[in-house]
Amino acid sequence: MKLFYEVGLVGGNGLLNDGSFIMTPQLINISPPVGTVGQTLVTATIHGVGTETTGLQLSGGSDLCEEIEVVSYATVECLTKRQDFGIDLLNLGVV
């Protein structure tokens, strides 16, 4: 996973890229908090992801998104599969 900063670079950031630093993206917000079987466009705020992040997955026991895209730093759009879900079932996975 590549680490992205909202603005600028942290001094000594090269130390973060040597493989010993592990960062888990943090799900801050998701809207709307529920989905329907008619598909839902969900916008999630996830600190720690940027437009080059790959392997991002929102799940509720299985992959939730039919399509997923990081549109800007920390902003992810997910077109859900045809299923019901509630925010209490969501997990974030990054490969």
Convert the pLDDT of each residue in 5-29 to its tens digit: 666 666 666 655 565 556 678 888 8
Instruction: Specify the pLDDT at position 16.
Output: 59
Closest CA to 3 of 28, 21, 76: 21
| Residue 22 domain flag | yes
We report the CATH number of the domain holding residue 24 as: 2.60.40
| Residue 66 domain flag | yes
pLDDT of 33 strictly over 90: no
Q: What is the pLDDT of residues 65-91, one digit of tens each?
A: 889 999 999 999 989 888 777 666 666
Find the domain containing 84 and state its range: 13-94
Instruction: Specify the pLDDT at position 76.
Output: 92
Beta bridge partners of 92: 58
| Residue 6 domain flag | no
Full-prediction pTM beyond 0.75?
no
Instruction: Specify the pLDDT at position 53.
Output: 85
Question: pLDDT category, 64, cuts 50, 70, 90?
Answer: confident
